[in-house]
Each structure stands twice: as structure tokens, then as C-alpha cells.
Amino acid sequence: MARNRTLAQANNKILRNSNIIETTLSDLLAQGHALQVLEIGFGEGRALLELAWRFQDYQVAFYGVNKKPSRAVKNCEDLRDTARRYAIIPAPGLANFRWPEVFFYDAGKLHFDDESLDLVYSVMTMRFIERKAEFLEEICRVLKPGGRALLDVGGPGWEYPYSFVCHDKMLTPYFSRFVLKYGHELIPLPSYLQLFADGSLQIRFINLPRCVMAVSKIKSSQLRLQLTFNDILSLPMRELPYSRIGGKDRGGFRSVYDIRPEIYPALFEAGLLSRDQLRLGDVLPESYADRFIS
């Protein structure tokens, strides 16, 4: 499904039982100006084409970024085959349809100008990005004031509490692909991001228990999370013992960041954390210990 997901499937990943992508785009169109929309990790382009066809009568330019070409899509012209294969665009509409522009490169550094995009959405891609904090900063860079982003980070079981790490390498049995720590303390991701909600940017977590971020850029600004990437503890999920449990694939990459000493006190000063909340690290199940801890 990842390579050829429909628009309905993309919507459901971001917010279950919704059409949040179309609704967000309609809300932005109500502002009365031409828009630019980007899908990161568009696969074969099925959802992107469905969205572009649905808004064909509006002033909207659509773009897609994949890390590399696939067998099905190597250039913009290949989107025609996707449109025919899935009967997205009726034959009479193919000639005058404004095809999305697609690019192939690592989305960790987007080739778009500052504050040039109105809507960015991504499904099943951010979980594989190694430097997630920098990617989130990059998303905020390219968003126009008033722009929005919808970012699917991963499935349930990611919300580790404010606690001590349970193991020097494992850190936590929670299935989080985006982990923040200060020394031996795990710092919840939502609490840390809230520290940077200064009236210019808003980052909310929607579709709980899944990990999905909804970003709103209120006015011109840049996000600087001031985190230090931990290249020792950052690992592919397949190298962790919970990479596959109960038949569910826990793929992707666990990105671990250290919080800088000068930032840590601000979490308490802002009332985002309290020492009373700090708890011992969750005990690892024996099945994890057997596979991972010697």
C-alpha cells in the first residue's frame, strides 16, 4: 500500500475516518490566493494525482518528492501511466490536465525556497528519515505564513513518559521513532516541541494513539529545536528487539537527540515538566532482554 496508496488511505493514516488533506487544502483556498502543495514520499503518485484531479479547477500547483525513482515512476511523464492504471483521470481529461512536478532526492533537505509552500503532507516517510528534528525544521522553513503540514511519524505505542532510561542502548520499550533525552532522562517529544510554540508556529499531535504532527505556521519564522543528534543511539528499528512483534513490522529509523544543558531548565520554568512526574524507566519484558541485553 505504501507505494500505491489512495488519497483515502493517506487521509486515514493522518487522521482516521477523515478527508483531512482535502479539507485543509479547501481551508487554505478560502484565503483567496494561488497555492503550492507538496507530498513527500509520493510513491507511484496515486494519492497526489487524485488530489490534483479533485482540485483541477483551482489555482493549485502540486509537487512530489521521492528519495529515488521507482520502477513505476522515473519522471513526470510516468504519472500518466499511474493515472491510467488506477483510472484516476478520465481519458478526455488527460490532455489538458496540469500534471504535478516530481523530484527525486533526499527530503532531509528540500529544494524549495523559504516560505514558498502552502501545504506539505507526508505518509509513511518520516519514520524512515534519520534526522527527524532537522526534517521538521526544514518543513517549517518551506511553509508560508498561514501554511500547514500534516506529518505521519508512526503507529501507536510511541508516547514514552518523562522517565529514566531503562537501558543504555534500548532506552525505552516504547515504539518511538523520535526520542529525546537529557542524560539518563527521557523527555517526552510533545513537551519539548511545546517549548517552541511561541506564537509563530503551532505543532499538535493528532490521530492518537498514532504519532501524527499537524504543523501550522502562523507568521514568518524559522524553527530551531537546538537538539544534538546522537549518532550512537540512533539506529534502524530492525536493530532493536521490538522491530517485529506479533506479526507487526516496526520498520523505520529511531532518531535519538540529546537536549542541550542550556535548554533543559526551560522545560521546568515553562511548566512543561515537573520533577514530581519523573518516574523510573519501564521494565523491559523478558522477551526483549533475551534478544537484546547480555
d(CA 236, CA 255): 9
Rounded Cα distance, 208 and 250, in Å? 17
| Inter-residue contact 179 to 121 (CB < 8 Å) | no
pLDDT at 289: 55
253-259 and 178-182 strand pairing: parallel
Return residue ranges of the chain for CATH 3.40.50.150: 1-155+210-223
Is residue 162 scored above 90 in pLDDT? yes
- Is 99 a residue whose pLDDT tops 90? yes
d(CA 35, CA 44): 23
Confidence band of 294 (pLDDT split at 50, 70, 90): very low
Give the pLDDT score at 242. Answer: 66
Mean pLDDT of the chain: 92
pTM of the model: 0.94
DSSP string, 159-212: ---SEE-SSTTT--SS--SEEEEETTEEE-HHHHHHTT-SSSEEEEEESTTSEE
Residue 1 has pLDDT above 50, yes or no: no
- For 132-146, how does the pLDDT look when each residue is reduced to its tens digit (9 = 90+)? 999 999 999 999 999
**pLDDT tens column, 213-258:** 999 999 999 999 999 999 999 999 988 876 555 545 578 999 999 9
pLDDT single digits (tens) 255-280: 999 999 999 999 999 999 999 999 88
- Under 8 Å between Cβ of 23 and 148: no
Confidence of residue 34 (pLDDT cuts 50, 70, 90): very high
Per residue in 40-92, pLDDT tens?
999 999 999 999 999 999 999 999 999 999 888 998 889 999 999 999 999 88
pLDDT at residue 20 greater than cutoff 70:
yes
CATH code of the region 1-155+210-223: 3.40.50.150
pLDDT the model gives residue 95: 84
Residue 117 — left, alpha, or beta (φ > 0 → left; ψ -120 to 50 → alpha)? beta
C-alpha to C-alpha distance for 127 and 255, rounded to whole angstroms: 9
Work out the burial of residue 275: count CB atoms within 10 Å of its CB; fewer than 13 is exposed, 13-18 middle, 19 or more buried: exposed
Residue 23 has pLDDT above 60, yes or no: yes
Positive/negative CA dihedral, 141, 145, 147, 153 = positive
